[in-house]
Amino acid sequence: MYIYKNIISIDEGKRSGKPCIREMRITVEDILLWLASGMSFEDIIAEFPELTKEDIMVALEFSANQQKKIFYDVAA
């Protein structure tokens, strides 16, 4: 299992290996889609009180780092 900043976990046996928040079934993708749909951090936390602002921030950071890695891998 891969762990990023003690918040994002990747486990092949959970959610088809998608990055999840603190080993919950909520994925980084879920958070990105909620934000893209117009939900605020506060909206997300109200709907999913098990999440924290830090969880959402780390999900954004993780996603940005993954995008950067893909860009640099393609450019190399």
Which helix (H) or strand (E) element contains residue 20? strand 20-21
Whether the per-residue pLDDT at 71 is higher than 70: the answer is no
Task: Give the residue from 41, 39, 38 showing the smallest Cα distance to 58.
Answer: 41
Can you state the angle between helices 28-36 and 53-75, rounded to 10 degrees? Answer: 100
Whether the per-residue pLDDT at 48 is higher than 90: the answer is yes
pLDDT, average across residues 26-32: 98
Task: Give the residue from 24, 13, 11 showing the smallest Cα distance to 52.
Answer: 24
Q: What percent of the chain has pLDDT over 90?
A: 71
Whether the per-residue pLDDT at 68 is higher than 80: the answer is no
Which helix (H) or strand (E) element contains residue 40? none
Per-residue confidence (pLDDT) for residue 52, from 0 to 100 = 98
pTM for the predicted model, two decimal places: 0.84
What CATH number matches the domain at 2-75, 1.10.10.10, 1.10.12.10, 3.40.50.920, 1.20.1090.10?
1.10.10.10
Whether the per-residue pLDDT at 76 is higher than 60: the answer is no
